[in-house]
Amino acid sequence: PRRGAVSSVLNLSRSRRILALALPIMAAMASQSLMNLVDAAMVGSLGGEALAGVGLGGYASFIAISMVIGLGAGVQAMVARRKGERDRANYAVPLNAGLVLGLAFAIPISVIFALASAPMMAFLAPTAGVAEVGSDYFDMRLLSVWAVAMNFSYRGYWNGINRSGVYMRTLVITHVANVIFSYGLIFGAWGLPALGGAGAGLGTSLALYLGSALYLLQTWRAAREHGFLRARPSRATLRNILRISLPNGVQQFFFATGLTVLFWIIGRVGADEVAVAHILITLILFLILPAIGLGLSAASLVGQALGRRDADDAYRWGWDVTRLAVSLLFVLALPMWLVPDLILGLFLKQPALVELGRAPLMITGLAICLDGVAIIFTQALLGAGAARSVMVVTLAVQWFFFLPLAYIIGPVLGYGLLGIWLAQAFQRLITSLLLSGLWIKRGWAHIEL
């Protein structure tokens, strides 16, 4: 009994440590989802064409910035490792490297996508009007690729040293500014030009650069002693960040592209199926935010444990965070099983669409728990530096298993949206099992950063 009591205290202590890191991240991500809804409401007042164009431009923006998002994982893994080693003078050296690499990536990415913007939108958009709005919005968002690279690098630093509250505070301010800037530039308020959909893109870009400036100010004050903008990153530091960032960036790019392909496949089934799938995907992306927050905390805790040369503790953190995430997602998923019609009725007003989405939503409730396992082990493995293994598993399952199977089951065999959603749940099961297997094998414990 005494050992059990001690174990319970230790588990409670570890859960508190996980939540102390994860809750600010989860709050920040919730604010991001809320602001995205506000943006959609503002643009929606301009008409369906404007809303469709901005939505399409938003998907294209995600594809463009996906290659720099990976910098956050690389910086966080190395900062956490330095913290575990108690190398205070060099905590911020990986951040310096991330900022340099961010600029190096942002310039060619911005130029390439700017040249491809108009033909890309013309190919994807259903009408010329939607294509024009989408291209204008996309062009404005491309101005912020460097800001996104900087912000993810800063996020990696602050999360890596267990100060995720800085990330939460900065992101909330950034999104409030986004609403103000976008409102003024969409409608021409306060003497600003009325740019419509393009104004939403410009407002977002300006807000992201404001976020970069806030990060710079906070980091300058607190992290100079950690080498911020003082210590030059070595070639080894740059190489190690690229070892994590490039595979993670490729993974993000193909995830975004795969999501677009999935909607194309569902479009071959029918327009009603696309509408329902859009709601289901939106719900999934919202409900996995707690798992992402917990996953980022796992990345820091694993990296710090490895910095202390305690691979056993790192291994425990992966499972501790996974158990917490699955428990939380199970509670969040309960309404999908118990009252699916009520949830769908909030978004879909036609009974036929609710009927179409009922079974897929209930499947989503199960799959969201599997997603939690995959997300936690993805981030834990990234924290250990095993980005290439994560990339191989996720891309192989998505592109060589799920997407071909979805096309065969849906449009070819005629099993529709329900068949596609069953295949997607199976995809998540396989991904979770493979990533869990990587964690159990512990090959990641020998990676030096």
CA angle 401, 406, 408 (to 5 degrees): 100
> N- to C-terminal Cα distance for the chain?
41
> In this predicted structure, what is the pLDDT of residue 196?
85
How far apart, in whole angstroms, are the C-alpha atoms of residue 181 and residue 193?
Answer: 11
> In this predicted structure, what is the pLDDT of residue 249?
84
Could you tell me the mean pLDDT of each successive run of 10 residues in the chain, 449 residues long? 46 79 71 60 71 76 83 90 90 93 93 91 78 88 93 92 87 88 90 87 92 96 91 89 87 82 82 77 79 88 91 93 90 89 80 88 88 92 91 94 94 91 93 95 89
Q: Whole-prediction pTM value? A: 0.83
CA angle 171, 292, 343 (to 5 degrees): 95
Determine whether 235 is exposed, middle or buried from the number of CB atoms within 10 Å of its CB (0-12, 13-18, 19+).
exposed
Determine whether 344 is exposed, middle or buried from the number of CB atoms within 10 Å of its CB (0-12, 13-18, 19+).
buried
How far apart, in whole angstroms, are the C-alpha atoms of residue 114 and residue 102?
Answer: 18
Q: Please list the alpha-helical segments (H only) found in 85-196.
A: 93-124, 128-142, 145-160, 164-187
Q: What is the DSSP string of 20-78?
A: HHHHHHHHHHHHHHHHHHHHHHHHHTT-HHHHHHHHHHHHHHHHHHHHHHHHHHHHHHH
User: Nearest CA to 208 among 142, 148, 141?
Assistant: 148
**pLDDT one-digit tens code per residue, 263-273:** 788 888 887 88
- Residue whose structure tokens are 């795969």: 258
**Side chain identity at residue 164, one-letter code:** S
How far apart, in whole angstroms, are the C-alpha atoms of residue 325 and residue 179?
Answer: 31
CB distance 371 to 385 below 8 Å: no
How many residues can be counted in the chain?
449
- Token reading at 19: 């939540």
**pLDDT one-digit tens code per residue, 375-386:** 999 999 999 989
430: helix, coil or strand?
A: helix
CA angle 260, 266, 270 (to 5 degrees): 135
> In this predicted structure, what is the pLDDT of residue 274?
75
CB distance 26 to 290 below 8 Å: yes
Tally of CB atoms within 10 A around 271: 9
How far apart, in whole angstroms, are the C-alpha atoms of residue 415 and residue 363?
Answer: 15
Tally of CB atoms within 10 A around 245: 31
**Side chain identity at residue 407, one-letter code:** Y
- Residue whose structure tokens are 């009974």: 351
> In this predicted structure, what is the pLDDT of residue 314?
93
